[in-house]
Every structure is written in C-alpha cells, then in structure tokens.
C-alpha cells in the first residue's frame, strides 16, 4: 500500500514538472520605429501624430513630432497605421522573432479625395449682380476706410487679438496630447537642463527679441 502511494506521488510530480517545462513563456516584443512621408520634392520627412494601434486590442501609441513611436506587441499581431489625409496601412509582426525588439520604418501615402464640383454664386442671377454692382458705394469715404484697415498698427492689432482657427487649435491640442503621452509614467524633462533650449534663448537674446517685446 505504501509502495503504491509512493509511486503515485512520484508520477504526479513528474507530470507536473513536465507540464511546467512544456509551457513556453509569452514573448513580448518592443515594437518601435519611425513613420515618414514624401514632401513636395519627393524627400522623406517625419510624419507626426499618426495612430499606431494593435488591431483587436486597446494598445496603441502616437508618433511624436519627429515621427517616432514605440509600444508593446506580441508576435503575430497586426499593427495599423492611420491618419486623416493618408492611406491606412497594416503590417503583421513576424511570429518567428528571436529577439525581443522589432524595428520598422513605415512610409505613408497621401489619400486623395475627389469631391463633386460645386459652383458658388454670390447672386442668384446676372440681373441681380448688375443691380448690386450699379448700386455699389465707391465714394472716397469707403476707400479711406479700406486704407485705414491696412495700416501697420491695425494689422498688428489684428494679429495679436484674432483668435486661432479650428485647424490651429486642433494641431495644438494633438501636439500637447502626443507630448503628454510620450512622458506617461515619468517626469517631463526640464528645459533648464536642455542645451538646445539654452541655445535658442541665447540666439533670441542676441537678436534682440526681448527688446522688441518691451518696445511693443
């Protein structure tokens, strides 16, 4: 009886050890790279704010202002690159990777949208245009008001007080989100220790930018 119990114990232990040896650990890959596109001269330039997403999961990242990205992936997963105005691209991470890092350079192509032709007319017909044109005020007072709106002081006031449009605001928000996403879980670097920031400050001081601001 004791011998049979002892044999059963050793058999169970051997099966447990074999099962533990047979299980392979999950291989995690650091997937990183750069996204570029062709400029008007055909040269590759970085493409920022591209969505890099693992399909079927909630894992993803944005490319920074230099087009770089990094995220955690698994061998065999499909990665999707997408951005408004560019064609969506999908790639598959090889399943037979030996290293735990995989680098990729993705070239994005601009997507062309063909919209139907639309003709915008300021007046319903030529007759209405003729009536409005003949009734137009072309006095010297109107001309003087137009010239007053083009003086340097007036233009400077408009540049300082005019709010940004939707395109500028969206770019600023996306740039701030991408910057926050890059430094998630860590402290942002301080520009006081950044030599590039110091160089920009010295160049601005030599150009006299601060003096100009005081005069304004």
User: 45: closest CA among 92, 78, 86?
Assistant: 86
| pLDDT score of 35 | 94
Q: Of 49, 74, 108, which closes a domain?
A: 108
Q: Are residues 152 and 97 part of one domain?
A: no
pLDDT at residue 31 greater than cutoff 80: yes
Claim to verify: residue 102 and residue 130 sit in the same structural domain: no
Given a contact cutoff of 8 angstroms between Cβ atoms, the answer to whether 55 and 49 are in contact is no
- Same domain? 99 vs 137: no
Summarised one tens digit per residue, pLDDT across range 83-120 is: 988 999 999 999 888 888 899 999 999 887 777 887 77
What beta strand segments (E) does the chain contain?
29-38, 44-46, 51-54, 60-62, 68-73, 78-82, 89-92, 101-108
Q: Name which of 83, 102, 100, 59 is nearest 170 in CA terms.
A: 83
- According to the model, what pLDDT value does residue 186 have? 67
CA pair distance 150, 163, nearest whole angstrom: 19
Is residue 22, in this structure, part of any structural domain at all?
no
Tell me the C-alpha distance between 49 and 172, whole Å.
11
pLDDT at 12: 52
C-alpha distances in Å from residue 77, one per residue of 90, 95, 97, 147: 10, 8, 12, 63
Are 42 and 83 in a shared domain?
Answer: yes
- 6-15, 65-74, 197-206, range with the lowest pLDDT: 6-15
Q: Is the domain of 99 the same as that of 133?
A: no
Does one domain contain both 133 and 196?
A: yes
Q: What DSSP line would sit under 157-207, residue for residue?
A: HHHHHSPP-HHHHHHHHHHHHHHHHHTTTSPPPPGGG-HHHHHHHHHHHHH
pTM, full prediction: 0.45
Q: What is the pLDDT of residues 112-149, one digit of tens each?
A: 777 788 777 777 788 888 887 777 766 777 777 777 77
Q: Are residues 204 and 143 in the same domain?
A: yes
Over residues 174-206, the pLDDT tens digits come to 887 777 777 666 666 666 667 777 888 888 888
Same domain, 37 and 97: yes
Is residue 1 within 8 A of residue 9, CB to CB? The reply is no
Residue in 73, 82, 36, 35 with CA at minimum distance from that of residue 54: 73
Q: Map tokens 């920009």 to a residue.
A: 200
Q: 105 near 34, Cβ under 8 Å?
A: yes
Residue 36 has pLDDT above 90, yes or no: yes
Q: Which two tokens stand for residue 18?
A: 């074999």
Asked if pLDDT for residue 4 goes beyond 70, the answer is: no
Does residue 200 share a domain with residue 137? yes
CA 215 → CA 34, 150, 212, distances in Å?
44, 21, 5
Q: Do 81 and 150 share a domain, yes or no?
A: no
Q: Give how many domains the chain has, as a whole number.
A: 2
Q: Could you tell me if residue 17 is inside a domain?
A: no
Residue for token digits 């990094």?
A: 70
**CATH, residue 90:** 2.60.40.1120
User: Which of 75, 108, 141 is the C-terminal boundary of a domain?
Assistant: 108
- Do 135 and 74 fall into the same domain? no
Q: What is the pLDDT of residue 25?
A: 57
Look at residues 63, 79, 108 and tell me which one is the last residue of a structural domain. 108
Provide the domain limits for residue 150: 126-208
Q: How much of the chain exceeds pLDDT 90, in percent?
A: 25
Same domain for 147 and 103: no
Residue 106's pLDDT is 93
> pLDDT at position 46, please?
92
5-14 mean pLDDT = 52
Confidence bin at 63 (pLDDT 50/70/90): very high
Residue 61 within any structural domain of the chain:
yes
Whether the pLDDT of residue 19 is over 70: the answer is no
């Amino acid at each position: 009886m004791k011998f049979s119990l002892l044999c059963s114990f050793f058999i169970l232990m051997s099966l447990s050890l074999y099962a533990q040896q047979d299980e392979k650990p999950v291989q995690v890959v650091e997937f990183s790279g750069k996204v570029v596109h062709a400029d008007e001269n055909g040269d590759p330039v970085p493409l920022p704010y591209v969505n890099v997403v693992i399909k079927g999961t909630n894992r993803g990242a944005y490319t920074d202002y230099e087009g770089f990205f990094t995220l955690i992936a698994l061998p065999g997963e499909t990665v999707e690159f997408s951005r408004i105005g560019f064609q969506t691209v999908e790639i598959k991470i090889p399943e037979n990777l030996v290293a735990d890092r995989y680098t990729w350079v993705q070239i994005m192509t601009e997507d062309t949208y063909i919209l139907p032709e639309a003709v915008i007319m300021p007046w319903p017909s030529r007759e209405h245009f003729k009536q409005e044109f003949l009734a137009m005020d072309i006095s010297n007072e109107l001309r003087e008001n137009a010239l007053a709106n083009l003086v340097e002081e007036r233009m400077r006031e408009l540049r300082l007080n005019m709010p940004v449009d939707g395109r500028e605001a969206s770019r600023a928000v996306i740039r701030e989100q991408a910057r926050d996403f890059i430094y998630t879980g860590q402290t942002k670097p301080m520009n006081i220790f950044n030599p590039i920031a110091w160089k920009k400050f010295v160049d601005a001081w030599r150009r006299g930018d601060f003096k100009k601001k005081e005069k304004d």
